[in-house]
Homo-oligomer: A and B are copies of this chain.
């Protein structure tokens, strides 16, 4: 069976793996994200070592932080483009790995990668239109529509539109440097930390932070539901590790939509409509393997 390589390229670490799926990860390594030269160099060293040990790789997949260029016809295809991360602007990710490893390389956003992993092996099996949203340091979304990964003009930026905010109940003005109180500005992990003065993971389950967090997530999901009518929504990322958020989000979406859209998924079965990722922690790197597989 063909062996693939995968890289979940994140702003704090690159997770590299070789294998064929969730039950068959042959090797895995975490590399801190420093400079492109050092980080890409270490990742290359990992794959070259694995090739010597495990045999040839038929393809590599890269699920990358962004913004990234996804149009194959662009001269910057496979680049990280206008990122604020120091040193990484205009980095030719795909090219670096393709030249050094001389194998086909699949390339997409981190969230599209995670979505593809959930599609092959997780919570989105058999669906052709669904959204994968991550609520962590940032908020980002991807998914499949009509059976293909979401691209369009660039790629979705699902954390950066405006939600209603009532300054009487939430005076925190939001933390997005571009938009203030966009979804990410209100509901990312760092936004929670700024609003409440402590890290999200240290807020107890009965803290009012969680009802407000669920409210914003419900507003955002309602907007995605009205816009693309997904068959399911998968919610991952550090903040969603708080599983008690899920029932709050279910109730919130029902309240916001108010039974306007008559679909059993939204009325009777919302607990299986808005779900955690099945692949958990490894969704990212398995997504990268799925990108390799699709190449």
A49 at the interface (CB under 8 A from B): no
The reply to whether B152 and A228 contact each other, CB–CB distance below 8 Å, is: yes
The reply to whether A227 and B223 contact each other, CB–CB distance below 8 Å, is: yes
The reply to whether B160 and A260 contact each other, CB–CB distance below 8 Å, is: yes
Q: Whole-angstrom distance from the CB of A159 to the nearest CB of chain B? A: 8
The reply to whether A161 and B227 contact each other, CB–CB distance below 8 Å, is: yes
**Interface SS majority for chain A:** loop
A25 at the interface (CB under 8 A from B): no
The reply to whether A158 and B226 contact each other, CB–CB distance below 8 Å, is: yes
List A residues 187-244 near B (Cβ within 8 Å).
Answer: 219, 222-231
List A residues 153-176 near B (Cβ within 8 Å).
Answer: 153-165
The reply to whether A161 and B226 contact each other, CB–CB distance below 8 Å, is: yes
Interface size on A, residues (CB 8 A): 47
A265 at the interface (CB under 8 A from B): yes
Q: Which residue of B is nearest A157, CB measured?
A: B226
- Counted per complex, copies of this chain come to 2
The reply to whether A152 and B231 contact each other, CB–CB distance below 8 Å, is: yes
List A residues 132-190 near B (Cβ within 8 Å).
Answer: 141, 145-148, 150-165, 178-179
The reply to whether A228 and B156 contact each other, CB–CB distance below 8 Å, is: yes
A263 at the interface (CB under 8 A from B): yes
Tell me, in angstroms, the Cα distance from A165 to B165 when the chains sit together. 9
Instruction: Report B-chain residues with C-beta under 8 Å of the C-beta of A153.
Output: 129, 225, 229-231, 263, 265
The reply to whether A260 and B227 contact each other, CB–CB distance below 8 Å, is: no
Instruction: Report B-chain residues with C-beta under 8 Å of the C-beta of A100.
Output: none
A36 at the interface (CB under 8 A from B): no
Cβ contact of A230, chosen from B147, B148, B152, B163, cutoff 8 A: B152
A81 at the interface (CB under 8 A from B): yes
25 residue pairs A–B, Cβ–Cβ below 8 Å? A67-B261, A81-B262, A145-B146, A146-B146, A150-B229, A151-B229, A152-B231, A153-B229, A153-B265, A154-B229, A155-B229, A156-B226, A156-B227, A157-B226, A159-B226, A160-B226, A161-B223, A162-B164, A162-B223, A162-B256, A163-B164, A164-B164, A164-B165, A178-B257, A179-B258
